[in-house]
């Protein structure tokens, strides 16, 4: 299965979507945190490190690519299209102010998934028209993890996407154990969490609790 099919099939199936955030990982390396995520059953990993030097990101992503491939997990890289190509990532995730989807497709080819962050109905509709493989929906709630983030889009936008957009999607932004059930009730099946996973001591325990909510609350 090529990367594009792997990513879309995993997002459609639902579950937890893990992201790296080394500065919010209690001193643990991305490799350590991702290994724990994989061992705990997460099968989608996005590498999102905005401030590291490219050489360090390249070496790190080579290791993470090998780790994810070992267990059949999808490996997605945020923004860095050249890095995604160099390490053989399954997908690349871009934002509204990055290269347009058509330009990204010209670079990555037909076998790499393209995810696009969206924050409003017009952006979701445009993502369909542009040929994105999946969209990020958020930030649902207030979040301080990502710099220069827009205001929360709330559950109303999640309702819109769940009910009217024919693309796989990932809910993201400020989602925690205490509000995950509410997000699932509004149609999310694949949910991205950052510090709720990376910033706890007991990552396996946290992932188990989150997975239980997803399983029990999904219709």
Domain boundaries, the chain: 3-217
**Cα(46)–Cα(75) distance, integer angstroms:** 6
Q: What is the pLDDT of residue 218?
A: 82
Q: Which long-range contacts (CB under 8 A, 24 or more apart) does 73-76 make?
A: 73/38, 73/42, 73/43, 73/44, 73/45, 74/3, 74/6, 74/7, 74/10, 74/43, 74/44, 74/45, 74/113, 75/45, 75/47, 76/7, 76/44, 76/45, 76/46, 76/47, 76/113, 76/115
* DSSP 3-state percent helix, strand, coil across the chain (nearest 5): 50, 15, 35
- Give 148's pLDDT tier (boundaries 50, 70, 90): low
Residue 144 above 80 pLDDT? no
Query: Which phi and psi angles does 209 have, rounded to 5°?
Result: -65, -45
Beta bridge partners of 93: 78, 115
The one catalytic residue in 43, 57, 65, 146 is: 146
Class level of CATH domain 3-217: alpha beta
The one catalytic residue in 48, 57, 189, 206 is: 48
* Whether 146 is catalytic: yes
**Cα(141)–Cα(154) distance, integer angstroms:** 6
CB of 84 within 8 A of CB of 94? Answer: no
Residue 178: in which H helix or E strand, if any? helix 177-185
Determine the Cα angle at 86 with ends 84 and 88, to 5°. Answer: 65
**Cα(115)–Cα(127) distance, integer angstroms:** 9
The one catalytic residue in 4, 25, 43, 117 is: 117
**31-58 confidence digits (pLDDT tens):** 999 999 999 999 999 999 989 999 999 9
**89-114 confidence digits (pLDDT tens):** 999 999 999 999 999 999 999 999 99
Q: What is the pLDDT of residue 200?
A: 97
* Whether 105 is catalytic: no
Residues 204-214, mean pLDDT to the nearest whole number: 97
Task: Write the burial class of residue 46 (CB in 10 Å: 0-12 exposed, 13-18 middle, 19+ buried).
Answer: buried
* Cα 11 from chain centroid (whole Å): 9
pTM of the model: 0.96
Q: What is the pLDDT of residue 147?
A: 63
- Give 173's pLDDT tier (boundaries 50, 70, 90): very high
**Cα(167)–Cα(178) distance, integer angstroms:** 27
* Whether 65 is catalytic: no
- Give 73's pLDDT tier (boundaries 50, 70, 90): very high
């Amino acid at each position: 299965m090529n990367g594009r099919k792997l990513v879309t099939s995993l997002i459609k199936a639902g579950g937890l979507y893990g992201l790296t955030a080394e500065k919010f990982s209690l001193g643990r390396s991305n490799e350590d945190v991702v290994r724990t995520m994989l061992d705990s059953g997460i099968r989608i990993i996005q590498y999102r490190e905005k401030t590291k030097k490219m050489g360090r990101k390249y070496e790190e992503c080579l290791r993470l690519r090998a780790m994810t491939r070992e267990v059949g997990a999808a490996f997605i890289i945020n923004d860095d299209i050249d890095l995604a190509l160099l390490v053989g990532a399954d997908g690349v995730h871009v934002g509204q102010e990055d290269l347009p989807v058509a330009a990204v497709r010209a670079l990555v080819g037909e076998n790499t998934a393209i995810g696009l962050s969206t924050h409003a109905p017009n952006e979701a509709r445009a993502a369909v028209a542009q040929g994105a493989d999946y969209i990020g929906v958020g930030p649902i709630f207030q979040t301080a993890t990502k710099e220069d983030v827009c205001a929360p889009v709330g559950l109303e936008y999640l309702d819109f996407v769940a009910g009217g957009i024919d693309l796989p999607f990932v809910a993201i932004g400020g989602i925690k154990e205490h509000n995950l059930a509410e997000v699932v009730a509004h149609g999310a099946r694949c949910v991205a969490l950052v510090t709720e996973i990376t910033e706890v001591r007991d990552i396996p325990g946290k992932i188990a609790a989150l997975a239980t909510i997803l399983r029990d609350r999904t219709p």
